[in-house]
């Protein structure tokens, strides 16, 4: 199990795959479009797998209890960036899972983010094209590794002001 650093928010999210496509949450922002892996922050004393299940249910209507194979923790990524309009450091620890789903399940996933406060859509993007999108967390370079089996979670390069721009 990955132990979060005290005082840093932990976000559990998933690279949800169906065939050669990945599920992303698409937000139109003043600075350009942003695509996010579905997921969200852990509540106090909540396990990462429980948080992921809760967030996927809240955002997509996806019930992980329907799956015999649980999502696999694939990547861990630290974030230390400065958000526009704030002089404070924004820190997160991203726990990024991989989940493959059958076509029938994909058809039942919401087409708009169910708990969004802004205008969002749920889109399925060809995996080969997803790396060219502005992704949060910044997993673009790693997406090509999703097809290969992983021995365990891999630490990705950190998200910093030099490697990521907020939109």
Residue boundaries of the structural domains of the chain? 9-160
- The DSSP code sequence of 24-38 is EEEEEETTEEEEE-S
pLDDT tens-place string over residues 113-149: 999 887 799 999 999 999 999 999 999 999 999 888 7
Cα–Cα dist 10/142, whole Å = 20
Cα–Cα dist 129/22, whole Å = 10
Strands (E), 4-161: 9-18, 21-29, 32-36, 39-41, 72-82, 89-100, 120-126, 135-136, 154-155, 159-160
DSSP letter (8 states) at residue 71: P
Predicted model pTM: 0.92
pLDDT tens-place string over residues 18-49: 999 999 999 998 889 999 999 999 999 999 99
Q: Give residue 101's pLDDT band: very low, low, confident or very high (50, 70, 90).
A: very high
Quick one: CATH architecture of 9-160?
Alpha-Beta Complex (3.90)
């Amino acid at each position: 199990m990955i132990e979060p650093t005290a005082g840093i928010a932990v976000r559990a999210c998933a690279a949800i795959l169906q065939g050669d496509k990945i599920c992303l949450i698409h937000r139109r922002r003043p600075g350009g479009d942003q695509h996010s892996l579905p997921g969200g922050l852990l509540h106090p004393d909540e396990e990462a797998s429980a948080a992921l299940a809760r967030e996927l249910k809240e955002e997509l209507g996806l019930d992980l209890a329907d799956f015999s194979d649980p999502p696999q923790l694939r990547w861990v990524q630290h974030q230390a960036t400065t958000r526009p309009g704030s002089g404070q450091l924004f820190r997160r620890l991203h726990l990024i899972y991989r989940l493959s789903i059958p076509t029938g399940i994909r058809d039942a996933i919401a087409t708009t983010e169910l708990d969004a406060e802004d205008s969002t859509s749920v889109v399925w993007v060809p995996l080969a094209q997803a790396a060219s999108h502005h992704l949060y967390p910044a997993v673009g370079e790693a997406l090509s590794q999703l097809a290969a089996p992983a021995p365990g979670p891999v630490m990705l390069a950190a998200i910093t002001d030099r490697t990521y721009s907020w939109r």
